[in-house]
C-alpha cells in the first residue's frame, strides 16, 4: 500500500533515539520531510545525517525542549518557514524514572508531567493553528499502555499517559470539523536492539525506558510473561501504525487509542 507520504512534512519530537528514531526513519523511507525535535543535539544530528541518505525528503534538526512553549513555537514557525506546511506531528518525546510512588522525589513527578503532558500540549498548541488554516493535519501522540492499565512503578507517568489519551480524544472532537485527525498509539515495553538505536553510549541508561532494571534477564523474563505474545516490543514494531495513522488511508480514524504491545492492554 502506498501511504502517499512523500511531500508531507512530519515533526517527530524525541526523534533522536529508540521509538522516535525508528518513526523518523519510517517517514524518511516513505519520502516525507522530517523535522527531528529533540534536546539531544549530538545524537539528533547523527540521525538526521542518516535520514538524509534515505528517501527523497529532507530531514532537519531543531534543538527543542518540548517543555518550553517558546522553543516549541519557534519549532513550528521554523518548520513552516522551511517547508511551508506541517502535515504531521508525532508527539513522541517522553521520560520516566521507574520507582515506587513514595520513593520518588517531587522533582521527578514535575519532570514527568512537563515532558509527557505539557510536551504534547505545547506541541499541539503550536502546530494546530496552521493545520486548521489548511484544513489538514495528523496529530499522533505516543502514549503508553501505562496510561491504559496504570503501571506499577510508574504512577505519575501513567497519569500523564492517561492524560494524553483524554487530551487527544477531546481534541479529536474539537478539531474534527477542521479535518484534523488526532490519535494515540500506545507501546508496551519497547527496547532498542542496540546502543546505536537507543541513541546512547550504552543500551542501558537511566532516565529512559531502557532502565537498568530490564538489564536483568530474570526481571525481563518475568515482565515479558505478562505479554500475550511473550516478547517485548522493538522500535520498528511501533512504526507501521504511526505511518498508517499519519496517512490519508486513515482519514476516517480519529480519537482512537491503539496499543502496539503484544496484547498487554486490550
Ligand X SMILES: NC(=O)c1ccc[n+]([C@@H]2O[C@H](COP(=O)([O-])OP(=O)(O)OC[C@H]3O[C@@H](n4cnc5c(N)ncnc54)[C@H](O)[C@@H]3O)[C@@H](O)[C@H]2O)c1
Note whether 245 binds ligand X by CB under 6 A: no
For residue 185, which of 102, 250, 134 has the smallest C-alpha distance? 250
The smaller minimum CB distance to ligand X, of residues 136 and 185, is found at 185
Which of residues 27, 62, 209, 242 is near ligand X by CB under 6 A? 209
Number of residues near ligand X (by CB under 6 A) = 29
Give min distance, CB of 257 to ligand X, in A: 12
What are the start-end ranges of the E strands in the chain? 9-13, 33-38, 59-63, 88-91, 137-142, 180-187, 257-260
Q: CA-CA distance, 224 to 206, in Å (whole number)?
A: 20
Note whether 197 binds ligand X by CB under 6 A: no
Give min distance, CB of 242 to ligand X, in A: 11
The smaller minimum CB distance to ligand X, of residues 25 and 40, is found at 40
The smaller minimum CB distance to ligand X, of residues 5 and 97, is found at 97
Note whether 142 binds ligand X by CB under 6 A: yes
Active site (catalytic) residues: 157
> Is 42:259 a contact under the CB 8 Å cutoff?
no
Q: CA-CA distance, 87 to 245, in Å (whole number)?
A: 12
Q: CB-based contacts of 251: which residues, under 8 Å, 6+ apart?
A: 181
3-state secondary structure (DSSP) of residue 100: coil
Note whether 14 binds ligand X by CB under 6 A: yes
- Within residues 106-135, the interface with ligand X by CB under 6 A covers 115
Give min distance, CB of 151 to ligand X, in A: 9
C-alpha separations of 204 from 85, 96, 193, 249 in Å: 37, 14, 11, 37
Binding stretches for ligand X (CB under 6 A): 13-14, 16-20, 38-40, 64-67, 92-95, 115, 142, 144, 187-190, 198-199, 208-209
Amino acid at each position: 500500500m502506498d501511504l502517499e507520504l512523500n511531500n508531507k512534512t512530519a515533526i517527530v519530537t524525541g526523534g533522536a533515539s529508540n521509538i522516535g528514531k525508528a518513526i523518523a526513519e519510517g517517514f524518511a523511507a516513505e519520502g516525507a520531510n522530517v523535522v527531528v525535535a529533540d534536546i539531544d543535539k549530538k545524537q539528533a544530528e547523527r540521525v538526521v545525517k542518516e535520514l538524509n541518505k534515505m528517501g527523497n525528503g529532507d530531514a532537519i534538526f531543531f534543538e527543542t525542549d518540548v517543555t518550553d512553549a517558546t522553543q516549541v513555537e519557534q519549532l513550528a514557525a521554523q518548520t513552516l518557514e522551511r517547508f511551508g506546511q506541517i502535515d504531521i506531528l508525532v508527539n513522541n518525546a517522553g521520560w520516566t524514572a521507574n520507582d515506587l510512588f513514595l520513593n520518588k522525589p517531587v522533582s521527578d513527578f514535575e519532570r514527568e508531567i512537563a515532558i509527557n503532558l505539557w510536551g504534547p500540549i505545547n506541541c499541539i498548541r503550536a502546530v494546530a493553528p496552521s493545520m486548521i488554516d489548511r484544513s489538514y493535519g495528523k496529530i499522533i501522540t505516543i502514549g503508553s499502555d501505562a496510561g491504559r492499565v496504570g503501571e506499577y512503578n510508574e504512577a505519575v507517568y501513567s497519569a500523564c499517559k492517561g492524560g494524553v489519551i483524554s487530551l487527544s480524544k477531546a481534541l479529536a472532537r474539537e478539531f474534527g470539523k477542521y479535518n484534523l485527525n488526532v490519535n494515540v498509539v500506545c507501546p508496551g515495553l519497547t527496547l532498542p536492539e542496540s546502543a546505536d538505536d537507543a541513541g546512547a553510549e550504552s543500551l542501558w541508561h537511566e532516565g529512559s525506558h531502557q532502565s537498568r532494571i530490564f538489564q536483568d534477564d530474570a526481571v525481563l523474563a518475568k515482565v515479558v510473561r505478562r505479554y500475550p505474545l511473550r516478547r517485548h516490543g522493538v522500535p520498528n514494531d511501533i512504526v507501521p501504525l504511526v505511518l498508517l495513522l499519519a496517512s490519508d488511508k486513515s482519514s476516517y480514524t480519529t480519537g482512537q487509542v491503539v496499543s502496539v504491545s503484544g496484547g498487554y492492554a486490550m
